[in-house]
Amino acid sequence: MHLGGNSLVMDTTDPRSVATTTALGILPWLGGYAATYLLVAPNLRDSPLNQIIEVLEGDAAVHELVGWVFYNAHLVDTVVELPVIGSQTTTYIGGEDGFSLLLYLVPVVLLLAAGFLFARREETAGMTPGAKAGMLVVPGYLLATLLGAIIVEINVSGATGGPDLTSAVILAGLCYPVSLAGTGGALWGLLADRTE
């Protein structure tokens, strides 16, 4: 992977280059999940929802419920399908009983930082090349978002719950990393351009 003139050129014939970029793109997703876990898991352990799941399934669902909150931080609703009652959408951030609105900053800060670091790694100069380098985060973040949405889905006694998959892919997997990592990369490119 290298920069040629003002355009980013990724050597797609080198599997190590593609694999490295994808792996690095997964890191901000994992960091965001970990930060969310540290902030909300203690409360989710004792939540009525987790206790109901534990009674019905025999296992706690803290990891999955943290995932729901992490997707909510990307503006992705949680969809719960209940037998007879039907489908309901909700978010666990904000409102009277929700978690702090500051959780919305978790993916924002990490994606800005990831884009900034990707552009720095690629030694870009200029806003456009920097933005393109920052967006190298997208494939890995998209992959982690898609797999994560499937992993955190819960099925209990005919009821299911998890992130809205379409919104997860579009918002969390594409819009967030493209706009935020691209902006982070552009910031690096701008700084690098000024120091030359």
User: In this predicted model, what pLDDT tens digit does every residue of 151-173 receive, in sequence order?
Assistant: 999 988 888 999 999 999 999 99
Q: Is pLDDT above 70 for 73?
A: yes
Reported pTM: 0.87
**Of the ranges 28-42, 44-58, 132-146, which one carries the lowest mean pLDDT score?**
44-58
Q: What is the pLDDT of residue 2?
A: 42
Better pLDDT: 112 or 20: 112
Q: What is the pLDDT of residue 196?
A: 61
Better pLDDT: 19 or 57: 19
Q: Is pLDDT above 50 for 5?
A: no
Q: Is pLDDT above 60 for 111?
A: yes
Q: Is pLDDT above 50 for 12?
A: no
Cβ burial of 75 (10 Å; 0-12, 13-18, 19+) is middle
Q: What is the pLDDT of residue 153?
A: 95
Give the percent of the chain with pLDDT over 70: 90
Whole-number Cα distances in Å, 137 to 40, 47, 92, 145: 26, 34, 27, 12
Q: What is the pLDDT of residue 192?
A: 84
Contacts of 71 (CB under 8 A, 6+ apart): 78, 148, 149, 152, 163, 168, 172
**How high is the mean pLDDT of the chain?**
88
CB 186 within 8 A of CB 118: no
Q: What is the pLDDT of residue 157?
A: 81
d(CA 182, CA 186): 6
Phi, psi of 97 (to 5 degrees): -105, 5
Angle formed at CA 21 by CA 69 and CA 168, multiple of 5 degrees? 25
Average pLDDT over residues 134-141: 95
**Of the ranges 58-62, 128-132, 182-186, which one carries the lowest mean pLDDT score?**
58-62
